[in-house]
Amino acid sequence: MKIRVTADNYENEVLKCKLPVLVEFYARWCSKCAMMEDILEELAREYDGIFQVCQIEIEESSELAESFEVGIVPTFVVFQEGKPVTAASGLLSRESLARMVFGKK
């Protein structure tokens, strides 16, 4: 299941998570973000217990978006042990997102 993240639960859901975390920074008005919804749902179901999928709405949580200098949505950031390890923006395939999490090229 995807988790909605705001400044209130960011520390617990992203920084303190024992699993790797794939975070999507998105905007409600973004058509490309809407196109990614089904892919993120699939990843969240398939990799439940292996990695966590979170979403941060950039206008609702502007301070988080600014701290990662998000200029393009969607932007994806992978966290391992509470630290960002890789990032990419734009429309990405399900396989590309999984490779980002698992650190494979």
Residues designated catalytic: 30, 33
Beta 21-26 vs 52-57: how paired, if at all? Answer: parallel
Please report where in the chains the tokens 């973004």 appear, as a residue: 30
- Residue-wise DSSP of 10-41: HIIIIIS-SS-EEEEEE-TT-HHHHHHHHHHH
Residue 48 amino acid letter: D
Structure tokens at 20: 């790797």
